[in-house]
Amino acid sequence: MSRTVSASAPGKVILFGEHAVVYGRPAIAVPVPARQATVTVRAGDDGLTIHATNLDCVLTVSPDNAEDPLAVAVINTLRHLDAGFEHDLSVQVKSTIPIGSGFGSSAAVSAALIQAIGRYFDAELTPADVSRLVYETEVLYHGTPSGIDNTVVAYAEPTYFVRQQIMDRFDVGRPMHLVIADTGRMTPTRETVGDVRAGWQRDPETYAVVFDAIGEIVDAARAAIAEGDLVEVGRLMDENHLCLRQLDVSSDELDYLVCAARAAGAMGAKMSGGGRGGNIVAIALPWAVKDVVEAVRAAGAVAVIETVV
């Protein structure tokens, strides 16, 4: 086989429900097509190698050295396809998704990698296959991932999600203009998820109250999104942010960007993803987007993405 194939997967942003989703409460996430991971597979001449340009990493993949999550993604996909492991393939990974910032970069890279390997071997993997294979690598990155990242990047659609139970597309009654602003600080999701787990183990009742409150916010948000009640969506984002502060996964930088977005006219704003770094997401009416973008830039955001859901 001498052809070249490629596949892409979008970044994602969690609109509601991060952290509580690990404990069985619902969450809502949407794809961010403005940021993509792209993987190209072509015939190589020296075993199976992965070149990840942005990560400055070159790996040789074999079933014996499958410790790196990217290598594991390849091995598991070849196993799923029953394609054997002896291949001369050159795999190029490129991504415009910021790493460690709540954009689901690892899941998107894995999803693109898995789809590209599938295509190279003429197999059209279903989104469910891709999601499951991505999940297996997310475990290596994040310890106990809820499964929301692999689901939203594999399906590339707005998703209402309950761990191991529900994966629904949700209706969007009126387009939502989102501004996503990056603190520039990278905090591993594993760290904040681990801290929340430690807190929950110390004081399960208090944590359960906060998780329940987040679950109610998510369900109310789903209804508000379906009705196109963007004012209510914004209010619920603000409430969700307060809950995340109670879980101690926000930070001064995140709080500052959230305040700046609100002061500039956003209808609501919250941190998104693992927290203590990464992004905030704000919702604004179309004519206020520019002001919100300028405000979060002035407040120190290192990157700002606008997207419409």
The answer to the question of residue 222 lying near ligand PMV (CB under 6 A) is no
CA dihedral 303, 247, 178, 148 (to 10 degrees): 100
AA identity, residue 294: E
Would you say 69 or 104 has its CB closer to ligand PMV?
104
CA dihedral 101, 103, 108, 109 (to 10 degrees): -20
Report the SS3 class of residue 42.
strand
With CA atoms as reference, report the closest residue to 255 among 200, 296, 303, 221: 296
For the annotated catalytic residues, the residue numbers are: 149
The answer to the question of residue 146 lying near ligand PMV (CB under 6 A) is yes
The answer to the question of residue 104 lying near ligand PMV (CB under 6 A) is yes
Would you say 295 or 304 has its CB closer to ligand PMV?
304
Among 50, 74, 97, 148, binds ligand PMV (CB under 6 A): 148
Beta strand residue intervals within 129-225, DSSP E:
159-162, 166-169, 177-182
Would you say 234 or 278 has its CB closer to ligand PMV?
278
What is the distance between the alpha carbons of residues 90 and 53, in angstroms, rounded to a whole number?
13
Half-sphere exposure of 44 (CA within 13 A, CB side): 17
**Contact window for ligand PMV (CB under 6 A) among 34-42, 252-260, 261-269, 271-279:** 271-279
The answer to the question of residue 118 lying near ligand PMV (CB under 6 A) is no
Count of residues that bind ligand PMV according to CB under 6 A: 17
What is the distance between the alpha carbons of residues 9 and 105, in angstroms, rounded to a whole number?
9
Least CB distance from residue 177 to ligand PMV, whole Å? 21
The answer to the question of residue 69 lying near ligand PMV (CB under 6 A) is no
Binding interface with ligand PMV (CB under 6 A): 14, 18-19, 21-22, 102, 104, 142, 145-146, 148-149, 189, 193, 273-274, 278
